[in-house]
A = this chain, B = another copy of it.
Amino acid sequence: MALSEQARASERDRIAQMVLDLVKERGTEITHAGAINESGLTRGRFDQIFDDYDDLFDAVAQKWLHPHLLVMEEVLATHLPPQRKMYEFFARRFAISRERFREDPEFFTILCEMGAANMERVRSFVDLADHYQCELIAEAQAEGFFAGLEIDETLSLINQMVSDYTLPDALLYLGDRLSEQKLARIVDTIFIGLSGEAGSEAAGVNSLTLAN
């Protein structure tokens, strides 16, 4: 019997949550066979819900990252000044990750490992976050920030400068050395200092061949 779209979506959600609960309870990754077994479904029915393990992993990642998605959209809808908006864009996600890390460091570590081992699988999430961030950059550029830089270039530079606040693994080795206060200082530094029209002191002129 074919599943209705609604029943399929609801089962995907239920099983994704079940996998997260099992990872937390058992302290280890859950295999495809393990998930089928625990789902209470036949193999045939399970395969109607998830094409394969990658598809199951996607659903689990989406479930886990859903709160991040909500706060990004929340920030995008505000009318804050560009610095505040950029700060909130990173700070709210960081606060979610830190809360989860503090609540259950072991569970958080395993999810980091699952994510790190499957970076390409959460690519769609990373792409969406980048897309939203480009909107913030465009708004800031309209107010004169990041002059002389392409949006993609700005995106890459900002992502590199705040990566300790977006990569969950950083919490594992930096812990309390990460703070909202420092993140705010970094965002201010970016808004004051990042442009294509000022500053080429660092690279000098003689001793470097610049890569493109």
Contacts and interface: CB of A to CB of B under 8 A. Distances in A.
Contacts of A163: 163-164, 170
A155 to B, nearest CB: 11
A184 B211 contact: no
A204 interface: yes
A191 to B, nearest CB: 7
A91 B177 CA distance: 24
Report how many copies the assembly holds.
Answer: 2
A208 B204 CA distance: 39
Nearest to A119: B173
A180 B210 contact: yes
B188 A189 contact: no
A179 B212 contact: yes
A81 interface: yes
A191 B194 CA distance: 10
Given A194-B189, A211-B179, A201 B83 contact: yes
Interface of A: 80-81, 83-84, 86-87, 91, 119, 156-157, 160-161, 163-165, 170, 173-174, 177-194, 198-204, 208, 210-212
